[in-house]
Structure 1
Amino acid sequence: SIVNAAKKPKGLIVTCTVNWLIKPFTMYAISAFFFFVVFKGIIPNDLAKEYVAGAVLLGAAPCTAMVFVWSYLTKGDPAYTLVQVAINDLIILVLYAPIVAILLGVGNVAVPINTLILSTVLFVVIPLLLGVVTRTFIIKNKGLHYFETVFLKKFDKVTIIGLLLTLVIIFSFQGERILNNPLHILLIAIPLTIQTLFIFAIAYTWARLWKLPHSIAAPAGMVGASNFFELSVAVAISLFGLQSGATLATVVGVLVEVPVMLLLVKVANSTVGWFQKNELPQSLRS
């Protein structure tokens, strides 16, 4: 159950530390290094700032949706994954806007904090509140068993359709830019890919050293490695405009995330043996 998952704090410590004390800052450092130093002669400075801004928007928003898919594919503990995601959702409410503002300020990109806060409210607070209200109403009238076994299953296909529709909408607006800028797409993808692999390696290795079971370690690595791209794209459009370099960078983040995360799923599944001695007894897994 979720209650039992919350009683095993090590995985939550790994997730929260990597996602909020490491990930946003390494994303800024890695992207700034590539765009301002390695690609200096290829990408104009003003455009490089926008690309870094887009990378920061991705790095400051750990995944809250697709991570359930990655967790399922690695046989992760669903209750524990839910707790990890729920805690990230709550932290996003408080830290997303200030972290983005600070990192963009370091990169000499001025952004209105009010827009950041409004975006967080629209794309995180309101959906979260609607979810809480819906859950409370259904459980009160139908019971917890109905909510978990019947009601949630009705939305399995809706969730997948919603994610696919989001991707279609994103790419329909950015398709021409992607086709017309293949070199920039490749250059943007390089630091984003490195960041994804780096963050997964930190969380997954830490979990192994801390002797966590694979069912917790794999999702812990996946939450940090993947991004809340819906929020990132929406905030990029709000702050910089639909045709901005920042928005393009967040869209490239979507392009990069799926194949890279599938690679990490394969890595996690092929290294289950690393965690066999750490596996919890069956009675403690739920």
Structure 2
Amino acid sequence: MTTTVPAATETRQRLSTLDRYLPVWIVAAMALGLLLGRGVDGLDDALSAVEIGSVSLPIAVGLLVMMYPVLAKVRYDELGHVTADRRLLVASIVLNWVVGPALMFALAWLLLPDLPDYRTGLVIVGLARCIAMVLVWNDLACGDREAAAILVAVNSVFQVVAFAGLGWFYLEVLPGWLGLEQSALDVSPGEIALSVLVFLGVPLLAGYLTRAGAERARGREWYETTFLPRIGPFALYGLLFTIVVLFALQGDAISGRPGDVARIALPLLAYFALMWGLSMLLGHRLRMSYERSTTLAFTAAGNNFELAIAVAIGVFGVTSGQALAGVVGPLIEVPALVGLVYVALWARRRFTWSTDPVRSTS
């Protein structure tokens, strides 16, 4: 059966040329990054020479440009409707901070029992919940923007207070209980807080101030019909720029060990498919709307690759297997979640969803 789509959301389903060919642009960006990393001597050193919160400055700039337009679209005066949805908040916390890390731990040990460095890197990836690119995937899949903003904020708080403790549990305590090999993770909450402040706090504040100031000066209709379409494409420009820089930084590591990359990719693919599918199904069973089910699924399936890479490099070194596993994360996550955007849009047409009011508009 096909669900009826509200007119306000229908307009968002008509993807622009840039959006429709996003997989092509992403593959091109990945290839360009790899070519630059392999072909330009000293480029990786130059790109990583300046850092913000242990992340390369060019990557930081790309992430901020990517997140700002999406956060400028959020209707902040409607966030109360999201916080009142206990189903959504509880489901998101359980999926992100109980199911996600446990699933990645299980997949890492099941599929990489003989590769402890890569296994540890994947566990770190599983602990780093997404606070950046998920906003782009959610927007492309016509998810609930206000819900995404709230869930990303919740993930950020949990990331600061829980990341180090969960790292200790999954790398030392649980393996010890199970008689498995143990490793250690030494990362301070302060370092994680700085990453969250930079990569979420800055664009969130900019988006809020932009909407508040522009609506006060010109009104909501002008803001949403004239201003937002002008800045909207910069989210994808920032995404593509970030991908180019990231793959340029790690071109040698990725292209030099294709067999290892393939081994790391297998549990990652399984993780993204299982987390997204489980979350989407849970949202449907809890009678959430398509928009909120989609937001729940993408916020649960995505990972904070910039934090995972920074932690792996800071603790184990830039040439470590743990760092390579972190780098392979976005190599697999980006095309996988782009593919899931199209799966989500198909599921929207194919299945009947709850008729909860849709509060996100173009």
Q: TM-score, normalising length from structure 1?
A: 0.84
Corresponding position of 1:101: 168
Q: Which runs of 5+ in 1 are unaligned?
A: 41-47
Equivalent of 1:83 in 150, 158, 161: 150
Choose 218-227 or 97-106, whichever is displaced more.
Answer: 97-106
Equivalent of 1:122 in 183, 189, 194: 194
The two structures, once aligned, show a CA RMSD in angstroms of 2.7
Corresponding position of 1:45: none
Structure 2 Cα separation of the partners of residues 250 and 121 of structure 1: 19
Corresponding position of 2:104: 27
> What letter corresponds to residue 102 of structure 2 in structure 1?
F
Choose 232-241 or 135-144, whichever is displaced more.
Answer: 135-144
- Give the 3 Å change call, closer, same or farther, for CA 129–176 of structure 1 in structure 2: closer
Does the CA-based 8 Å contact 2:171-2:185 persist in structure 1? yes
User: SS of the residue aligned with 1:279?
Assistant: coil
Instruction: Report the Cα offset of residue 279 of structure 1.
Output: 2.0
Corresponding position of 2:333: 257
Structure 1 Cα separation of the partners of residues 314 and 109 of structure 2: 22
Q: TM-score, normalising length from structure 2?
A: 0.67
- Give the 3 Å change call, closer, same or farther, for CA 165–276 of structure 1 in structure 2: same
Does the CA-based 8 Å contact 2:132-2:200 persist in structure 1? no
Is 1:111 aligned to residue 185 of structure 2?
Answer: yes
Structure 1 Cα separation of the partners of residues 243 and 149 of structure 2: 23
| Per-residue CA distance 1:49-77 (angstroms, 9 max, x = gap) | 21112111211122212112211222111
User: SS of the residue aligned with 1:202?
Assistant: helix
Structure 2 Cα separation of the partners of residues 56 and 152 of structure 1: 38
> What letter corresponds to residue 250 of structure 1 in structure 2?
G
Corresponding position of 2:10: none
> What letter corresponds to residue 17 of structure 1 in structure 2?
V
Seq. identity, %: 27
Is 1:52 aligned to residue 119 of structure 2?
Answer: yes
Structure 2 Cα separation of the partners of residues 21 and 138 of structure 1: 35
> What letter corresponds to residue 124 of structure 1 in structure 2?
V
Structure 2 Cα separation of the partners of residues 141 and 169 of structure 1: 33
Q: Which has the higher helix share?
A: 1
Aligned ranges for residues 2-13 of structure 1 at < 5 Å?
2-13=79-90
Aligned ranges for residues 171-186 of structure 1 at < 5 Å?
171-186=247-262
- Give the 3 Å change call, closer, same or farther, for CA 59–110 of structure 1 in structure 2: same
Q: Which runs of 5+ in 2 are unaligned?
A: 1-77, 176-180
